[in-house]
Amino acid sequence: MTSNKSKVINRAQVVDDNFIAFVKNHQVTSPKTTLAQQGLDPVVLKELFESQLRSRQLDLMARILKLQNKVFYTIGSSGHEGNAMLGRLVRHSDPAFLHYRSAGLMMERSRHVPGTDPIWDTCLSFAAAQSDPASGGRHKVWGSKPLWVIPQTSTIASHLPKAVGCALGIELAQRSKARIPVPDDAIVLCNFGDASANHSTAQGAFNAASWAAFQGLKVPVLFVCEDNGIGISVKTPDDWIKSSFRHRPGMQYFQADGLDLETGYQQVKRAVDFCRQERKPVFLHLRTTRLMGHAGTDFEVDYRKLEELEAAEALDPLLKSAASVMNHGLMSAEEVLDWYQAIHLECMEKAESAHQQTKIQDLDEVMAPLAPQDEQTVYQEAARTVDPEQRVALFGSEKALPERQPAKHMAVQINKGLHDLMLKYPEMILFGEDVAQKGGVYTITKQLFKNFSAKRVFNTLLDEQTILGLAQGYSYMGQLPVPEIQYLAYFHNACDQIRGEAASLQFFSNGQYANPMVVRIAGLGYQKGFGGHFHNDNSIAAIRDIPGVTVACPSRADDAVMMMRTLTALSKVNGRVSLFLEPIALYMHKDLHEEGDGEWNFPYPEPGEYVALGEPRLYHEGGDILIITYGNGVPMSLAAAKMFEDTHQTKVTVMDLRWLQPLNGTAIQSWASQFDRVLVVDEGRRSACLGEGVITLLCDLNNARKKGKLIVDLIAGADSFTPLADAAKMVLPDKQQILEGLIKLNG
C-alpha cells in the first residue's frame, strides 16, 4: 500500500492515478464545436491522442525501470505532449532540431515513415543498446535519419544557431541552384523551453534570424518555445516570453495552446503554414506544463508548494485529450483506459527487451564514429586537380598562375590557395566577419568576393556563435563551409558550437550525420605587442581538448596551402570538422635570419601537392639536439639554432609538428629516439600547453628505452595573458631563450 507521504514525493504515480481517475469519472458532454471546425477529424484526433499516450507511458516506464538500472535517462515529456501537433503538421522531410521534451512530437512524426516503431527505438535509446538507431547506444537523443531529426547533445539553446544556419542553407542552395537533400519548400523546426529562450546562444540565434529576415533574406525557421513556466526550479515571469518576442523585427509571433488539441491544432497549423509559405522566421509560443519534475532525480516538493504542483497537474494535456475523444463519441472511458494500459504494457515489454540487447562492448566500438578517416581516399581527393583552363581563367593568364610567381609570404599564398579551393569545390562557401568586400582584417580573403560572388563569399554579423552555427546548418544542406573566426580569442566565445555540437555529431549520431567544415582561425602571438591579449591569444588547450577535431597550424606559406588542401579533402570525404590555426605574426613574415634575406618566403605548391595528416616537417636532419615546435616557434627555433651552431660544434634538427591534434605520437617518438637531447618550444602558457602532450610522449619513450635516458627540456610562455607593447616580450618565448636552452642541453 502506497503511503500518503510516498505519493507526495512520487508525483509520477500521482499523475498516473489522476489520469485513470479522470477518465473513470468523466461525464460526457456535447462539444460546442465539431472536429471539422477545429481542423481535425476522428482519425487525426485519435492518432494525436495515441502519440500523447505513448509519450506518457514512456516517461512512466523510465521512472520505474531506472530503479532497476535498466533505463539510463529520465528527463521526460510529460506536460509537453501537445507537441504531437507539430509532429503531425510539420513534414518528416523538414529538418528538426529537438528539445528533450519532444517524445509526443517524435511519436507522431514517426507516422510519416511507415514501418517505424518509435516506442522500440526510444526504448533502445533509453537502454543504451548498441542497436539504438539514433546513436548506437552512445547517448539518449531524439534523432532519426529517416525522419530528418538531427541528434542534439545539449538542449540549453546550443542547437538554435545551427537551425538558423540550416534554414539559411536551404535558401542559399536554391539561390545557387545547388541540389539540396530536402524539398525546396522545406522549413526547419527547432523547439526549446522558456528558460532556454533566455540563454545568450538562443538570443544570438533569434537575432541572427531577425537580422537576416530584416534584410530580405529568406529564413524559414520555426522556433517553438514550449513554455511550461519553469526552468528546473526557476520560474519564468508571467508574460515574459510573450512580451519579449511578439514585436521582434523580421520575426512573426504566434501563440498556441499545447494543452488542448482541439484549441491548439489550428493555431499551430497557422504558424507552420506561415513559415512555409512566407519563408520567414516564426516564433510559436506553445503553452505547456511540466509534470513529474525536471527528471527522475528531481523532487519538486523540495522547492515547489504542493498546491502549485497540483495546479500544474490539473493542466495535464492528456486529460483534455481524453475528454475530447470521449465527448466526440470516438471512444468510451473503458476503451481509453484499455488503450492506456495496453500502451503501458507495450512500453514495459519493449523496454525489458531493449535492456537485453547488446551494449557497446569495447573502446574501439565507442570511438568508431568519432573521427572517421579514410586516408587513401582523402589523399586522392587532396591530389585531385581541376581543369587547367579553369585555373588560367580564374587567375587571368598562364603567367599569372600562383605557382609561376616568385616565392611569397603566407598571407599571399593562403589567399591563392583559397581561390584554388573555391574553384575546385563549387559547394564551398566562405564567410565570417569582414571577409567579403574588405577581404578580412589581414586581406587573406581579398578578391574572393569579387571572383566568386556574394552567394559564396559573404559577411556575417559579429557573433562567433552564429558563424559556427551557420556553418553547421549549411553543411546539412550539402555545402562545404569554411567559416573564419577573426581571432583565436573570439573562438573561445563560441567554443561550444564546435565542442558540444559540430564535433560531437558524428559520434552521437553513430556516423549518420556529419558537419564537414574547415574553420579558419587567425591566432597565436608575436604581433609585437599590438592589440594585447585578444590579438595575441595562444590558448590552444581548449581546442586540442575537443574529441574528433583535427587541428592544423602551418608555419610557412607552402605548408599552409598544402595543409588546407588536405583538410578540405578530409571534410569532403569523411565529413570531419577541422580547425586551421593561422599564425597572424607569420602572415607577412618574409625573413629568417636577417632583415631582407627573404628566406621565409616560399613558392606556391603545384596543384595536387598536399601534406599527409600528422606528417611533420624536419629541418637539418642528422643533428645532435632535436627541437620540437610549431607555428611561430619554427622560424624562431631555426634562427636560434643557427646562432647556436655558429659558436658550437653541436648540430640542431628542428621538427615542425604542423598538426597539433591529434599529435602524431609515432612520428614524434620515432624521431626523438634518434637523439639524446630534446628541447620542446611552445609559445603557449606553460600550464596546459601543447608541450605537455609532447613531453608525455617523450616520457613514454624514455620508459621504453633500454639504455641512455632522453634529456628533455621545455621552453614555454608564462602563465599570463599577453599585455600590450614591449611588455608582451616578457610573456612569450624568444630566440634568446631558445639559444640558452640549447646551450643548457649541450652541457
Distance from C-alpha of 197 to C-alpha of 683, rounded to nearest angstrom: 40
CA 541/CA 556 separation, integer angstroms:
22
Cα 558 to Cα 561: distance, rounded to the nearest angstrom: 5
Handedness of CA 481, 487, 488, 490 (dihedral sign): negative
- Kindly state the DSSP code that residue 606 receives in the 8-state scheme: P
- Residue pair 418/428 in contact (Cβ under 8 Å)? The answer is no
For the four alpha carbons of 381, 383, 384 and 386, in that order, the dihedral sign comes to positive
Q: Is 638:654 a contact under the CB 8 Å cutoff? A: yes
pLDDT digits 0-9 by tens, 335-376: 999 999 999 999 999 999 999 999 999 999 999 999 999 999
* Domain shared by 338 and 385, yes or no: no
Q: Are 122 and 267 members of one domain?
A: yes
Q: Within this chain, do residues 406 and 538 fall inside the same structural domain, yes or no?
A: yes
The alpha helices in 66-155, defined as continuous H runs, are 84-89, 103-109, 118-126
Q: Which residues lie below 8 Å from residue 335, measured CB to CB, with a gap of 6+? A: none
Residue with cell 599585455: 723
| Residue matched to cell numbers 640558452 | 740
Cell of 30: 456535447
In a domain, 593, yes or no: no
Checking if the pLDDT of 528 tops 80, the result is no
Place of cell 609585437: 528
What's the confidence (pLDDT) of residue 598? Answer: 96
Mean pLDDT of 479-497: 94
Dist CA 727 CA 671 (whole Å): 36
* Inter-CA distances, 294 with 66, 73, 193, 239, 673, Å: 15, 12, 12, 21, 55
Non-local CB neighbours of 626 within 8 Å, separated by 6+ positions: 652, 653, 654, 655, 671, 672, 674, 675, 677, 678, 679
Helix (H, G, I), strand (E, B) or coil at 675: coil
Q: Residue 255's CB: how many other CB atoms inside 10 A?
A: 17
Contacts 24+ apart (CB under 8 A), 298-306: 298/232, 299/9, 300/11, 301/8, 301/9, 301/11, 303/233, 304/233, 306/8
Q: Which helix (H) or strand (E) holds 43?
A: helix 42-65
pLDDT tens-digit map of 669-681? 999 999 999 999 9
User: 465 lies in which domain range?
Assistant: 375-587
| CATH code at position 650 | 3.40.50.920
Q: What is the pLDDT of residues 530-546, one digit of tens each?
A: 777 777 788 888 899 99
Is 368 part of any domain?
A: no
Residue 106 lies in a domain: yes
For the cut 60, the answer to whether the pLDDT of residue 404 exceeds it is yes
DSSP code of residue 397: S
Residue ending a domain, choose from 587, 607, 636? 587
Please give the pLDDT value at position 297: 81
Q: Answer yes or no: is pLDDT of 655 > 60.
A: yes
Residue 597 in domain: no
pLDDT the model gives residue 16: 96
pLDDT above 70: residue 6: no
Number of folded domains that form the chain:
3
Predicted structure pTM score: 0.94
Whether residue 440 lies inside any domain: the answer is yes
pLDDT score of 2 more than 60: no
What is the pLDDT, as a whole number, of residue 387?
A: 96
Show the cell assigned to 201. 546562444
Question: 410-419, 520-529, 726-735: which has the highest mean pLDDT?
Answer: 410-419
Residue 248 φ then ψ, to 5°: -70, 130
Long-range contacts of 446-453 (CB under 8 A, 24+ apart): 446/415, 447/415, 447/419, 448/415, 448/418, 448/419, 448/422, 451/394, 451/419, 451/422, 452/422
Give the whole-angstrom CA distance, residue 502 versus residue 158. 10
Residues 347 and 382 in one domain: no
User: Is there a single domain that holds both residue 548 and residue 644?
Assistant: no
Residue 366 lies in a domain: no
Hey, how many other C-beta atoms are within 10 angstroms of the C-beta on 286?
27
Same-domain status, 62 and 132: yes
Residue written as grid cell 558550437: 497
Same domain, 52 and 149: yes
State the greatest distance between any 2 C-alpha atoms of the chain, in Å, as a whole number. Answer: 102
In this prediction, residue 3 carries a pLDDT of 55
Q: How far apart are CA 736 and CA 738, in angstroms?
A: 5
Tens digit of each residue's pLDDT (9 = 90 or more) over 42-97: 999 999 999 999 999 999 999 999 889 898 888 899 999 999 999 999 999 999 99
Give me the percent of the chain exceeding a pLDDT of 90.
Answer: 87
Q: What is the DSSP letter of 499?
A: I
List the CATH number of the domain containing 158.
3.40.50.970
| Pair 216, 250: CB distance under 8 Å | no
**pLDDT for the residue numbered 722:** 85
Q: Are 168 and 156 in contact (CB under 8 A)?
A: no
> At 1, is the pLDDT very low, low, confident or very high (cuts 50, 70, 90)?
very low
Q: Is residue 199 part of a domain?
A: yes
CB 144 within 8 A of CB 97: no
Residue 152 lies in a domain: yes
Closest CA relative to residue 198, chosen from 235, 166, 167: 235
Q: Which of 565, 606, 556 is nearest to 403 (CA)?
A: 606
User: Rounded to an integer, what distance in angstroms lies between the CA atom of residue 29 and that of residue 17?
Assistant: 23
Per DSSP, the residues of 536-574 read S----HHHHTSTT-EEE--SSHHHHHHHHHHHHHHHHHH
**Per-residue pLDDT tens digits for 430-460:** 999 999 999 999 999 999 999 999 999 999 9
| pLDDT over threshold 50, residue 113 | yes
Q: How much is the average pLDDT of 155-182?
A: 91
Model confidence over 214-271: pLDDT tens digits?
999 999 999 999 999 999 899 999 999 999 999 999 999 999 999 999 999 999 999 9
Q: Helix 261-278 crosses helix 42-65 at what angle (to 10 degrees)?
A: 100
Reference 300, options 228, 245, 351; nearest CA is 228
Judge if 227 and 331 occupy the same domain: yes
List, in order, residues 6 or more apart from 438 with CB less than 8 Å away: none
- The torsion angles phi and psi of 238, rounded to 5 degrees, stand at -55, 135
Q: Are residues 269 and 394 in the same domain?
A: no
Name residue, grid cell 495496453: 342
What is the C-alpha end-to-end distance of the chain, expressed in Å?
Answer: 82
Higher pLDDT, 9 or 194: 194
Give the type of residue at 170. Answer: I
Looking at 587, 605, 626, which one is the last position of a domain?
587
Give the C-alpha separation, 640 to 634, whole Å.
10
Helix axes 410-424, 388-395, angle to 10 degrees: 130
> Pick from 323, 353, 383: which residue ends a domain?
353
Mean pLDDT of 133-139: 92
pLDDT, residue 8, reads 66
Check whether residue 349 and residue 384 sit in a common domain: no
The tens digit of pLDDT for each residue in 269-314 reads 999 999 999 999 999 999 999 999 888 888 888 899 999 999 999 9
Please, what sign has the CA dihedral across residues 466, 469, 474, 480? positive
**What is the SS3 assignment for 348?**
helix
In angstroms, the CA 208 to CA 470 distance is: 10
Same domain membership, residue 339 and residue 438: no
CA distances from 653 to 616, 619, 657, 696 (A): 12, 6, 13, 20
Which has more pLDDT, 102 or 295?
A: 102
Distance, in Å, from the CA atom of 636 to the CA atom of 736, rounded to the nearest integer, reads: 9
Same domain, 56 and 180: yes
